[in-house]
Structure 1
Amino acid sequence: MGKVRKTKSYRQHQPAVPVVKEDRDEEDEQVEEPVEDTSNESALSRGQRKRMKRRDTFLKKMGMVQRTVSQKQKDAQKQKDEQKQNAKKKIYGMFGSLEDLQESLFSETAAPAQAAAAAVAATEPVKAGPVKQLTGKQKKRLAMHELGHLKAVHTHPAFQANPFAAIQMHLQNTVVNQNPQPPAAVASKKK
């Protein structure tokens, strides 16, 4: 076997030590940690540039992961809020969220069909059994009917004179009649 000769390297190596700048705050007289100057990449070795590139791509990926995780958390929070609102509607019935109804009815930005759909959704009685889903055609017809009813209410002279009293009178006439008192309560009032 022959003698193994070392091959010559014609490439000149970059210095392995990064350029360090020291920032001093003269007012506070505190010495901060040295800041690595990454703007001068020619001062970095090839390996350091590779590692920096890998680190940057890793941080980009982690940023995307963080955004997706935060989006999932927001979605989960939104679902929890919706579940709470649905539970509230089941407990309180049609009077669960009158604020939403008021916002949808009297907002100028809401379309009339959306307002009517919101009114229908807010006034539907809660049933324990499975609810039959309405088709699109049925929803549209119901929304148009409710919109006509809403316009009639808005033009009614009693509502225009005192809306709160008109609504109160309507609720006393309709809701109280729909929920009759139990026989025991009626019997105790007779005595």
Structure 2
Amino acid sequence: RECVMIDAHAGLLNGARCLKKKEPLVGWDDCKEWNKLENVVIEGGGTIDGNGEHWLSQGRDRPMLLDLLWIDGLTIRDLKIRRPGFWTVHPTFCNNVRVTGLDVYTRGKNTDGIDPDSVWNMYIANNTFDNGDDCIAIKSGRDWSGIMVNISTSNILAENNVFKAGHGVSIGSETSGWVTNVTIRDSVLQGTQRAVRING
């Protein structure tokens, strides 16, 4: 599967309800979940709205908005993202990732902006985060499953971002596969609780 492009000029409301809900304890009901792809582009000038208030009482059943797995060459750019039920952008086991020009606005518990998770070679730039948890949370697997898989997150550059509400950049928790070579630079803090936190 190669060269997938989604050009989002319009709006997607209730984005968190795109797919049929999975059985309890199997995982989250994700809006978009792709795996083992190459050269995926999600772009536009439109808005993806997850209707997050609907999900806030659902605990671990809350959906991530963009949960993207095993992609080599992933680009997400020039979108407004609003009200996810849980994490907003969650690339996992991906290589060569670029996330630029996003305007992320979220509220509520665990509504992280971007969560690179066992990702290699990622560029995060020119985004604005105004959210209810970590603006960027760098991860590499959780607990025993992360130890068994043992895939690190490496070579992350985040620059020229604006961090408003939220916790800035967190490295961890959930770093069972290790994290190496992360650079955060040339960004603006406007009411953010902290700049960078290492959370073991």
TM-score normalised by L of structure 1: 0.21
Where is the helix percentage greater, Structure 1 or Structure 2?
1
Structure of larger gyration radius: 1
